[in-house]
Amino acid sequence: MRVVDKKEYIVVAIIFVAAMLMFSLYSRNHVNIIRETPDQLAVLTENDMTAASPSGKLVVGKSTREEAIKIYPGGTDLGRSGVYRPKDLDCLLTFSRSEDVLIRMDIGVSDITTSRGIKANDSFDKVVELYGNGYTKAYDKDKPQIFDAYYGADQYILFKIEDNLVNKIYIGSPVQ
């Protein structure tokens, strides 16, 4: 065996051992996600896929990019991803590639509300009051005060909760 070959084998072995150590450390520090599913999930209607602001309403699964741009003009297309960021709003609108229909809204702190009147910074108690207990809850075992409350199935509303406050809202739907 040549000296160059030995060096290559040693380098490969060192890289392999380093990769195994990194994987071991990562898997040891990986969070323990707890998922709690209710006996009966909440059923969402088409109306629940509506998000409203003083500028207008959009229906996830139905509204087009053209309608969204009329309501939120002057925004930015984020590359070729199908994502549009309205100007001066903590919100992202994701459109399907083929139909150019709104399939997801990511709503942060803004004046945008769900059809039932929930917006970022509202209490989770208000969410439960308006949407009920039929949600799936997912959280890290070590941080139960930070969790996701997922209502629905194919059509969904996901509330990101921290210390009983809504941080973010995701409304999603397949194209109908």
pLDDT band, very low/low/confident/very high, at 68 (cuts 50, 70, 90): very high
Rounded average pLDDT over 14-36: 67
* In the predicted structure, residue 121 carries a pLDDT above the cut 60: yes
From CA 144, how far away is CA 158, in angstroms rounded?
Answer: 16
Question: What's the pLDDT at 154?
Answer: 87
- pLDDT the model gives residue 171: 97
Q: Residue 78: its pLDDT value, please?
A: 87
Q: Which pLDDT value is given to residue 174?
A: 82
- Asked whether residue 51 carries a pLDDT value surpassing 70, the answer given is yes
Q: What rounded mean pLDDT belongs to the chain?
A: 87
Does the pLDDT at position 90 exceed 90?
yes
165-172/102-107 β-pairing:
antiparallel
28 pLDDT band, cuts 50/70/90, is: low
Determine how many CB atoms are found less than 10 A away from the CB of residue 20.
10
* Model confidence, pTM: 0.81
Q: Name the token pair of 161.
A: 């909760």
